[in-house]
Amino acid sequence: MFNPRTSPYNAFFMNSIAAAAPSFSMSAAQAPVQNEDDIERVISIGEADGALIVPSDPFTHDHATLIASLATNNRLPGIYAFARFAQNGGLIAYGIDLDEQLPKAADYVARILKGEKAGDLPIQAPTRLRMTINLKTAKTLGLQVPDKLLALADEVIE
């Protein structure tokens, strides 16, 4: 699920997802959304044995509570790019640590305001990824989270 206006880079994610899906005996389909009605429609037509992947997207991030709630209520397990989703009822989140990234972004803004050219600043990749697992949601969905995965999680919501 993604918003094509706020996530034009989704094709990068979709190529990887589509390539990996057959190894799990699954197929992948894009689900573009641009408003809350679209979100509700996409989640309501989720397949009984399907799942939801929500990559990094400012629009879906702003609608994390709605997306996570609808997915869980429709028994659709989801993996999300930001902890906020799992903290609001989604199954699992794995992605960049915003607490690490936001100060770096502020530093870049300050450097640009002081006269440095944005094109001269080095690209910084995340150095820390964060995993949040919501065990309450796993129980609601009838899923058992492996102990090894729980041990790797930065946050476990019970």
CA-to-CA distance for 62 and 59, rounded, in angstroms? 5
CA-to-CA distance for 139 and 152, rounded, in angstroms? 19
Question: Are 33 and 39 within 8 A, CB to CB?
Answer: yes
The CATH T-level fold of domain 10-157 is Rossmann fold (3.40.50)
Angle at which helix 36-44 crosses helix 64-73, to 10 degrees, equals 20
Task: Single out the residue of 66, 88, 75 nearest to residue 1, CA to CA.
Answer: 66
One-letter amino acid at 94 equals Y
Task: Single out the residue of 37, 128, 34, 129 nearest to residue 79, CA to CA.
Answer: 129
What is the 3-state composition of the chain as percent helix, strand, coil, each rounded to the nearest 5?
Answer: 45, 15, 40
3-state DSSP call for residue 131? strand
CA-to-CA distance for 39 and 28, rounded, in angstroms? 17
In this predicted model, what pLDDT tens digit does every residue of 104-157 receive, in sequence order?
888 989 999 999 999 999 988 888 899 999 999 999 999 999 999 999 999 999
CA-to-CA distance for 133 and 42, rounded, in angstroms? 23
In this predicted model, what pLDDT tens digit does every residue of 25-82 receive, in sequence order?
989 999 999 999 999 999 988 776 789 999 989 999 999 999 999 999 999 999 999 9
Give the global pTM.
0.85
